[in-house]
Amino acid sequence: MNRATDTKALKSRIKANQSSLRNFDEWLVNNLPILPINAKILDLGCGTGKQLFLFYDLCPKDIEWYALDVSRESIELIKKENKNIKLVFLAFEKSEDFFQKREKFFDLIYSCYALYYCQRSYLKKFVSLIYNSLKDGGIFWVIGPYKGTNKELFEIIKEYYDIPKEVFYSLSDFYSELLQHVKSAGFSRFECSFFENKILFSSASQLFNYWKNTTFYNEDFEKEIKREINNLFNKNKIFELTKMVISYKFYKQS
């Protein structure tokens, strides 16, 4: 199972993140860019539609919505909820034709917790396609995890196995590469902001289930990780897990 795109694993992570000290959705909405009332918007890596539905419900109905994802199951779930969103079943690396047919088309293209799944060898090309598909003055908005995310859980895991390099890439090097590529593509300016949150787990089973649905889960060490988590909750009633979020908005010169 690919936990990055698996619908069940994604839903489990979303559910866990709801038990937090701060409201991530509120922060996200407060960062939504100012747009024309009849804007065209694309969600890259829409998953099960959490952010898509959040923004859709807040925006004028004149807005034209598109959503792209590699999971057919997720696309079908969104289709059942909303018939007005134009859904595209595609991998990032197979989307060239989609973007080329929509040159200077979108006012906003955003990706929330998804863009770092793009193949590194294709990221530069992908950013260039995004740039060309934006109208003059359009915005490319990237939201994702940042350094410090899951650090408390990583401390437990590192005693037993190495966390995949792809996980640390998504928290650090991805953004360094992204900044190089947006400059190369032609974006003229950017804005950056951070959000720090704590996810609260009140039982060992909740935390264990969260770990089992992450991209750094390792079934070979279930027994050991379960024991460590149980030991934690024998000492404390609550486990706090850090979530660091970074937001980049890149602007195409008008």
Q: What is the pLDDT of residue 20?
A: 75
Within 10 angstroms of residue 236's Cβ, the number of other Cβ atoms is 8
Tell me the C-alpha distance between 228 and 233, whole Å: 9
pLDDT on residue 120 = 97
Distance separating alpha carbons of residues 183 and 199, to the nearest angstrom:
34
Q: Tens of pLDDT along the chain (254 residues)?
A: 554 555 665 555 556 566 677 899 999 999 999 999 999 999 999 999 999 999 999 999 999 999 999 999 999 999 999 999 999 999 999 999 999 999 999 999 999 999 999 999 999 999 999 999 999 999 999 999 999 999 999 999 999 999 999 999 999 999 999 999 999 999 999 999 999 999 999 999 999 999 999 999 999 999 999 999 999 999 999 999 999 999 999 999 98
Rg (CA), the chain: 19
Burial class of residue 152, CB neighbours in 10 A (0-12, 13-18, 19+): middle
Per-residue pLDDT, 4: 54
Which residues 6+ apart lie within 8 Å of 235 measured at CB? none
The pLDDT score that the predictor gives to residue 12 is: 59
- Residue 254's pLDDT is 82
Q: What is the per-residue pLDDT for 3?
A: 46
Domains and CATH numbers, the chain: 7-251 (3.40.50.150)
Distance of CA 23 to the CA centre of its chain: 16
The answer to whether 141 touches 109, Cβ cutoff 8 Å, is yes
Structure confidence at residue 21 (pLDDT): 78
- C-alpha distances in Å from residue 92, one per residue of 42, 70, 162, 218, 233: 13, 8, 28, 26, 41
Q: How far apart are CA 213 and CA 211, in angstroms?
A: 5
Whole-Å CA distances, 252 to 106, 135, 138: 11, 8, 5
